[in-house]
Amino acid sequence: MIGFYNGKDYMKKPIFRFKIDEIYNQVQFTKGYLDSCTDNDNLFNFLSINNQVYKALKDDEKIKFIENFYKEKYQLKKQRFEKIEKEITQKIGQNYTLIIDEFARIFNVNYKGLQKYEIYLGVCPICPRFLDYFCFNLCVNDSCEENFETLLHEMTHFYWFDLFKKEYPQIDNAQYETPNLPWLVSEIVVDCILKNSKFSQFIVYPPSYGYFYDIKIDNSKLMDEVNKMYIESKNIKTFMHKVYEYIEKNKKIF
């Protein structure tokens, strides 16, 4: 949690622990997400099933389909999980000082105490995060660099929402999840925060939400405007309020 300490906001310094997630959890995340989708989300393509075909299935049939799909994925990657955990743990160790110092600089925080973050390795590409429990899922890839980039992406959300709680205390935490406005804003800002920092050296893969880069507002590209706001803002709090107001004003576009 963010508090106030020595004239700055403070957070507990993150430390990371990895676990292999259960298939059951992956299935439930996926089903919940797909049941809420109203169009052909990329996840349908990932599962190789048409949206309308999926929607026509009964609940138990949906669960069975997703479960069988993930069981096959797990078998293919089971031997890789342990190696991937070692690789990313080593990558974190090599860059730990950079990670904590750069996030502290970006979000203008001091550290006080430690906070364990549990990272659940799996094959579900949704990568749900649980802010109140300091844990998130990471869809493992064969590339250590891509897994590390995903970790930085998710950690940015944790820092962002810790500050967001302080700046917007009137907004309920439930609004931090898809498809609500606070969630949308947080996904839009991650790329520009990472790319305008020392973390940019690790950002080599396509963005998680590539379609953001195709959106135009008043003939200006969304991500160009957001990046401009970030660069011109004197601090992260100023940027947070500017970008939230900007996205809220144009939320009908999304």
Rounded to 10 deg, the angle between the 181-195 and 236-249 helix axes is 130
Structural domain spans, the chain: 3-253
- What secondary structure letter does DSSP report for 250? T
Residue-wise pLDDT for 134-157, tens only, equals 999 999 888 999 999 999 999 999
Confidence of residue 244 (pLDDT cuts 50, 70, 90): very high
pLDDT band at residue 2, thresholds of 50, 70 and 90? very low
Each residue's pLDDT tens digit, 74-97: 888 877 888 889 999 999 999 999
Contact 124, 30 (CB under 8 A): yes
Q: DSSP per residue over 22-71, as a string?
A: PHHHHHHHHHHHHHH--S--HHHHHTT--HHHHHTS-HHHHHHHHHHHHH
